[in-house]
Amino acid sequence: MFEWIFNGKKLRENGVLGMNDRNYSVIAKYNKRSLYTLVDDKVKTKRLANSININTPKMIGIIEFQYQVKNLLDIVKGYDTFVIKPAHGSGGKGVLVIKKYDAEHFYSASGDVLSFKDVYQHVSNTLSGLFSLGGKYDVALIEEAVNFSDVFKNFSYHGVPDVRVIVYKGFPAMVMMRLATKESGGRANLHQGAVGVGLDVSTGLPLNAVMHNKPIFEHPDTKANLMDLRVPFWREHLIIGSLAYDMTGLGYLGADIVLDENRGPMMLEVNARPGLAIQIANGKGLKTRLQEIDEKYPLGLSAEERVDFVLNQGK
Amino acid sequence: MKLNLTRFFTVRKVLSLLLICAIAYSTYSIYYKVKYWGFSLSPKAVTDVWTVDAKISFRALGGDVKVSLAVPNDRDGFKILSEEIVAKGYKITQDKINSRVVLEGKDKTGKQNLYYRLSIYDDAQNVALNSLLPAKINRPILSEEETIQMRKIWELSELQKGDKIQKAILAINQEVNNPTMSLILPLDHTAKEFAEKVIQVLAYKRIPARIARTIKLEEGRKTEKPDIMLEAYYDGHWTLYDLNTAKIGLPKNWVIIQRGGVSLLDVKGGEDSTVVFSVLKSVASPLKMAEHRAKAHDELWSYNYSMYTLPVFEQNTLKWLMIFPLAILVVVIMRNVVGVSTMGTFTPMLLAMALVRTGFWPGLICFSVMIALGLVMRALVAKLNLLLVPRISFVVIFVILLIQVLTVVGYRLNYTIVSSAIFFPIIITAWIIERASITWEEEGAVNTLKEILFTFITAVVTYFVISNEYVRHVMFAFNELNLVILFVVMLLGTYTGYRVTELMRFAPLIHKEN
């Protein structure tokens, strides 16, 4: 029952990166603290991304002060759908997706019908820092909703499937796709019960899939075979990840990318402290991969050249 | 070159070096405190303090009275805690040179009782013998007959065992009833007369000797007279001998109260004088004795700059503070080595501190109830959709009111479990409630309960470490250990190994490969 106590040596042999090692040997070394603000503030990230032509959902407006909240309907005028996000949120907290609305009724993506008062309250909460890191006063970002591509329809229950690319020194190092389940409440967070599918970084083909840290082969709700998962625009996904490095200067980052039906892959957010669950989804240790990049990958390439280098490794 | 240097001075190596220094310093400091200040590693260690009371009684003859009592002296290596003289209407003079207390009274008549009280501590029986060289002594002037007896005794002593002095003492003891010996010592001799005879016999061989008055330290003992023993200067040092058995050294729990042949008590202007000694044992904590010990060892300077000289209130505060680093270490280990996630970094530590004050079960039960009530209340308020700061403020005020009600009710009904509510940190309690309720909404009950459970487990582990009497004593008495903890914590900041929980979390990655 307790044989896992002796796992340390094998994990080391398999090149599994632990939390302490990640914090001490990777993040503290390659992620300068001053760069964090670039990714902690989604408005800043979005502007930065747009400046180097990374696709992101279009920004509709910002609500900074309480008195502006009542103008919400004016701000979203002309848009059929919109998303309210806390600029300093994390892990999908406080994200409200409105699929359809009129003056009084707001239909959220998770199926709730909200009144204007409810939405007003949500924005107020966002401003007062309910969803932000450390409870600091925040700004509500209002952007266009993503038109999710149908290709993943069978692989996700409600919510939004996204691709998480771990980028190390500008090279895509490990990738997984996160699929919402009934249990995860439509969210793509693994610890809430979403499915993680590890994808081979150079081919984009599924390697392994887990839910609650245990291997699975089909989606628990849609019953789709997870090994049939194919991600279109694979190279473009990786390029967005790679550009995130150029954009932020973070040596170790996680880029969350979604696929829009019309506009292709779009970057949703960048994380300066991406988690380690991706290793379980891939069935591979990340440390081995980082060492490989340290030792064998060339310096001084552009984002596209780096991606092509990675893609060539699979051939 | 620069590269080599940075490789040589890695953070870990520098910290390890500092840790070794801290350990070395602490070891020395602990040794120093134990040796010179008498600190003990055990909180239960006590120092025996013996209070020797001398009651001087005599009948004054109606005129001026002068009483002189031989007393122990610091110079003799006595570890004297306190000296006290109760003599109403007498002028008290301490004659340090001759080690006497002189009491002078005018126009005294009738029965007089004077008291001299002395507290001694630490290996009282092991008092360093006076290392002063004896004055050169001359052979006593003896009659021819006495000379013959002297020679005879020294001859007889050759048949006895032991060193030269032991032999002489045994010989005199054996021959004391011998008719030839009775000439030098009367049959009904006192111990003092016997001792003086031995001194005389030793003087014949030019061996300096003197009387030592000793008493046995025994709870509630009353002796009219101290026992007399003999100190002889032989082979370059003073040695103490028992006059009956010739055994060397002071028996356990005996103490020398006076040395030299001078009288124990002199009373001028009075008659029927007696001095009665009584002994009382008490105990004191080594911490309280530290100052006296430091003084005795001439190490007072260091003691004066330690925290043990502070007023009691400050000391108690520091004693409380000195346990914090250890609690912090526990939290660091639980989080970075074991890998449990808790609500707030030091929340478990503050909880543990509160548990120390409330007692384990009462505190744990009371706190759980507070959290549960708070969560219910918070769930009700969630429907009102208040803004963040007012909502947290509501929880804080609710917790304050809850504490007030529980404390009053607990006090009235005499339930300590209920009234222990007052010791819990208000803001921490409120934040746990707030965070738990948000986690509950966002990540579900299971994750919330897990997080609360981990917070409690960490708090309980911390509690058991810091509530241990030994640990608290050691961390206060040997506070330099906090320096060791400091560097251990910093070294843990460079720990890159797996956390215990990760061994389980990443287990799927092993089966995959094999």
Rounded distance between C-alpha atoms, residue B352 and residue B458, angstroms: 9
Of B493, B504, B508, which has the smallest distance from its Cβ to A215's Cβ?
Answer: B508
Q: Which uninterrupted H or E stretch holds B176?
A: none
Asked if B504 is an interface residue toward chain A (Cβ–Cβ < 8 A), one would say yes
* Distance (Å) from the alpha carbon of B514 to chain A's nearest alpha carbon: 10
Partners of B325 in beta bridges: none
User: Does one domain contain both A268 and A293?
Assistant: yes
The beta strands (E) that lie in A18-156 are given as: 59-63, 82-86, 96-101, 105-108, 113-115, 140-143
- Give how far B422 is from chain A: nearest CA, Å: 27
Question: Which chain B positions have a beta carbon within 8 Å of A208's beta carbon?
Answer: 512
Residue-number span of the structural domain to which A199 is assigned = 3-39+149-313
Is the per-residue pLDDT at B395 higher than 50?
A: yes
φ, ψ of residue B152 to 5 degrees: the values are -60, -45
* Cβ B313 vs Cβ B476: under 8 Å: no
A131 and A279 part of one domain: no
Which residues from chain B sit within 8 angstroms of residue A191, using beta carbons? 443, 447
Report residue B346 CA to chain centroid gap.
33
Chain B residues in contact with A12 by the CB 8 A cut-off are 498
Q: Does some domain include residue A33?
A: yes
Q: Is the pLDDT of residue B93 over 90?
A: no
Of residues B52 and A122, which shows the higher confidence score? A122
Q: Does residue A186 share a domain with residue A275?
A: yes
The dihedral over CA atoms of B495, B496, B497, B501, expressed in degrees to the nearest 10, equals 90
- Shared domain check, A181 and A296: yes
Scanning B366-385 for CB atoms below 8 A from A yields 385
Whether A47 is covered by a domain: the verdict is no
pLDDT tens profile A72-126: 999 998 898 999 999 988 777 888 989 889 888 999 887 889 999 889 989 988 8
Beta-sheet pairing, A59-63 with A140-143: antiparallel
User: Residue B29: what are its φ and ψ, rounded to 5°?
Assistant: -65, -40
CB of B143 within 8 Å of a chain A CB? The answer is: no
Displacement of CA B421 from its chain's centroid (Å): 35
DSSP one-letter string for B50-70: EEEEEEEEEEEESS-EEEEEE
pLDDT band at B8 (very low <50, low <70, confident <90, very high): low
Of A103, A125, A143, the residue that ends a domain is: A143
CA distances to A35, A112, B447 from B348, rounded to whole Å, are 32, 38, 18
Q: What length is written for chain B?
A: 514
Q: Could you tell me which residues are beta bridge partners of residue A166?
A: A174, A254
In a domain? residue A50: no
Average pLDDT value for chain A: 90
* Same domain membership, residue A304 and residue A207: yes
Ranges of H-type helices in chain A: 8-13, 19-21, 28-30, 36-40, 42-51, 72-75, 116-127, 234-248, 277-282, 286-296, 303-313
Residue among A2, A3, A4 with most chain B CBs within 10 A, to mutate: A4
Instruction: List, as ranges, residues 383-442 from B with C-beta within 8 Å of A.
Output: 385, 387-389, 438, 442
CA closest to A119 among chain B residues: B385
A295 shares a domain with A185: yes
Closest residue on chain B to A193 (Cα): B443
Residues of B in contact with A213 (CB under 8 A): 505, 507-508
Confidence of residue B200 (pLDDT cuts 50, 70, 90): confident
What global pTM score does this model have? 0.75
Task: Identify the CA nearest to B220 among candidates B47, B52, B48.
Answer: B52
Q: How far apart are the first and last CA of chain A?
A: 42
A54 pLDDT more than 60? yes
The answer to whether the Cα torsion of B472, B477, B478, B483 is positive or negative is: positive
The reply to whether A15 touches chain B by the CB within 8 Å rule is no
**Interface touch B496/A18, C-beta < 8 Å:** yes
**A228-242, A290-304, B96-110, B365-379: the lowest-pLDDT one:** B96-110
In this prediction, residue B182 carries a pLDDT of 59
The beta-strand segments (E) located in B122-191 are none
For chain B, the distance separating the N- and C-terminal CA atoms, rounded to the nearest angstrom, is: 44
> Is the domain of A244 the same as that of A303?
yes
A243 domain-assigned: yes
C-beta separation of A124 from A138 below 8 A: no
- Do B330 and B461 touch, CB atoms closer than 8 A? yes
CB A133 within 8 A of CB A39: no
CB contact under 8 A, B496 and A25: yes
Model ipTM value: 0.83
At A82 the pLDDT is 93
| pLDDT band for position B183 (cuts 50, 70, 90) | low
Both A139 and A157 in a single domain?
Answer: no
H or E element in which residue A195 lies: strand A195-199
User: Three-state DSSP class for A159?
Assistant: coil
Q: Which of B494, B502, B504 sits opposite A24 (nearest CB)?
A: B494
Residues A128 and A192 in one domain: no
Which member of A10, A14, A128 has the closest CB to residue B389?
A128
A53 lies in some domain: no
Share of chain A above pLDDT 70, in %: 98
Higher local confidence (pLDDT), B421 or B427: B427
Check B499 against A20: CB less than 8 A apart: yes
A151 by Cβ neighbours in 10 Å (0-12 / 13-18 / 19+) ranks as middle
Stretch A273-292: mean pLDDT? 93
Phi, psi (5° rounding) for residue B459?
-65, -40
What is the SS3 assignment for A92? Answer: coil
- Give the C-alpha separation, A127 to A142, whole Å: 13
Q: Which of A109, A143, A177 is the last residue of a domain?
A: A143
Are residues A187 and A72 part of one domain? no
Q: Does B508 lie at the interface with A, CB-CB under 8 angstroms?
A: yes
Contact at CB, A14 and B510, closer than 8 angstroms: yes
Distances (CA, A) of B449 to A122, A153, B369, B456: 26, 34, 14, 10
**How far apart are the CA of B336 and the nearest CA of chain A, in angstroms?**
7
Those residues with Cβ within 8 angstroms of residue B353's Cβ, 6 or more apart along the chain or in another chain: B327, B466
- Residue B265: other Cβ atoms inside 10 A: 15
pLDDT at position B514 is 43
pLDDT at A1 (0 to 100): 67
User: Which percentage of chain A shows pLDDT scores above 90?
Assistant: 61
CA angle B58, B62, B64 (to 5 degrees): 85
Per DSSP, what are the bridge partners of residue A275?
A: none
- Cα distance between residue A64 and residue A123, in whole Å: 10
Among A271-285, B114-128, B371-385, B479-493, the minimum mean pLDDT is found in: B114-128
- Chain A neighbors of B498, CB-CB under 8 A: 7-8, 11-12, 16, 18, 20-21
The answer as to whether A44 is a domain residue is no
A219 falls within a domain: yes
pLDDT grade, residue B6 (50/70/90)? low
Pairwise CB contact (< 8 Å): A11 & B336:
no
**If you measure CA to CA, which chain A residue comes closest to B505?**
A213
The radius of gyration of chain A's CA atoms, rounded to the nearest angstrom, is 20
- A183 interfacial to chain B (CB closer than 8 Å): no
Q: A4 and B385: CB-CB below 8 Å?
A: no
Dist CA B449 CA B459 (whole Å): 15
Strand partners, A260: A148, A264
Average pLDDT, chain B: 82
What per-residue confidence (pLDDT) applies to B133?
63
Q: Could you tell me the CATH number of the domain that includes residue A214? A: 3.30.470.20
Do the Cβ atoms of B507 and A8 come within 8 Å? Answer: no
Q: How confident is the model at residue B7 (pLDDT cuts 50, 70, 90)?
A: low
Q: Give contacts of B513 with chain A, Cβ < 8 Å.
A: 10, 13-14
Distance, in Å, from the CA atom of A249 to the CA atom of A252, rounded to the nearest integer, reads: 9
Q: What is the number of structural domains in chain A?
A: 2
Domain ranges of chain B: 12-45+287-309, 316-481
What is the DSSP-derived secondary structure letter of residue A146?
A: P
Res. B125: pLDDT tops 60: no
Of the residues B6, B336, B502, the best mutation for testing chain A's interface (the one with the most A CB atoms within 10 Å of its CB) is B502
Dist CA A69 CA A64 (whole Å)? 8
CATH of the domain at A87: 3.30.1490
Evaluate whether residue A45 is within a structural domain: no
Please choose, from the candidates A79, A63, A187, the residue with its C-alpha nearest in 3D space to the C-alpha of residue A120. Answer: A63
| Rg of chain B over all Cα atoms, to the nearest angstrom | 36
Cα B385–chain centre separation: 60
Under 8 Å CB pairs connecting chains A and B tally to: 93
Residue in A10, A24, A213 nearest the CB of B505: A213
Residues A160, A188: Cα–Cα separation, whole Å: 7
